[in-house]
Amino acid sequence: MAEPIKKVSDRVLSRLAAADNATVLGMLSRRGYLKVYMRGVRCLTPGRRLSARAVTLRYLPSRPDLAKRIATGRYGEGFNVTPRWHALESLGPGDCFVGDAMGLSQVSTGGDVVFSTIVARGAAGLVTDGAVRDGHKVVKYGFPVYAGGSTPTIGEPDILPYEVNEPVQCGGVLVWPGDILLGDDDGVVVVPSQLAEEIIDEAVHHDEMEEALIDHVLKNKVSPSRFYPFNEETSKLYERWKKQHKGPARKKRAP
């Protein structure tokens, strides 16, 4: 059984959402977390930012006896619904459904009817290394969607939902229940829940220094090589920039 889930606050989620994924990836890398970027999990909803706590569901390869148990709702002790419904109906605001489909990127983990539950529960989004059935409909719900792909087929011939809120892999990354999923147009980074608060200030500071540097380069038409990687000259430039731009850092320029 997994350890008790650490619930990261909504305030922390909001602050992490303001940091760049590349920056967060760097913060984690320096702490020895090198396998936190999901492979083969792509953004199906460009322009939507995800910062949410993981509620996990592990799928297994299909087998007739397991399929029969799940179809009748007889799934272990204490369950009166099938595992997928149990996971989805466990969601709340600030939570994200994370489906471990073993990297089977063209196998459905659910479709528009199933994932309408995310809207009904006021949850934050959907991440899976499997496919989303009727993906063109699911993306219209308004929440961020990250998946291996989109498909018109059902998943049951290939996989079956099995285990809820236990550690899973998704896109080759370990996801512990309660970990933070950060998604942008480039994909998904997993932040271990116990590190979420620790890296926030460092990430925000880094992004502000980059903003100061980019402002200087574009305004003065100079090369950033003197200031990047960050050095003493960058710090001086940043201090001058802060005096001119009091308050929170401005939004990043669109690429």
Read off the pLDDT of residues 193-243 as tens digits, 9 standing for 90 and up: 999 999 999 998 898 999 999 999 999 999 999 998 899 998 989 999 988
| Helices 196-220, 21-30: inter-axial angle, 10-degree rounding | 120
Which one has a higher pLDDT value, 69 or 43? 43
Find all residues with CB under 8 Å of 106, minimum gap 6, and list them.
131, 148, 149, 151, 153
Residues of the chain with CATH 3.50.30.40: 38-191
Read off the pLDDT of residues 101-126 as tens digits, 9 standing for 90 and up: 999 999 999 999 999 999 999 999 99
**C-alpha to C-alpha distance for 204 and 16, rounded to whole angstroms:** 9
Nearest Cα to 53, choosing from 104, 16, 24, 2? 16
**C-alpha to C-alpha distance for 113 and 151, rounded to whole angstroms:** 14
Question: What pLDDT score was predicted for residue 79?
Answer: 45
Question: What pLDDT score was predicted for residue 187?
Answer: 97
Question: What pLDDT score was predicted for residue 243?
Answer: 87
Which one has a higher pLDDT value, 59 or 253? 59
Question: What pLDDT score was predicted for residue 173?
Answer: 98
Burial of 75 (0-12, 13-18, 19+ CB in 10 A): buried
Question: What pLDDT score was predicted for residue 2?
Answer: 56
Cis peptide before 229 (omega within 30 of 0): yes
- pLDDT band (50, 70, 90) for residue 94: very high
- pTM of this prediction? 0.87
Residue 90 pLDDT > 50: yes
Please determine, looking at this structure, whether the domain spanning 38-191 carries the CATH number 3.50.50.60: no
**C-alpha to C-alpha distance for 95 and 120, rounded to whole angstroms:** 13
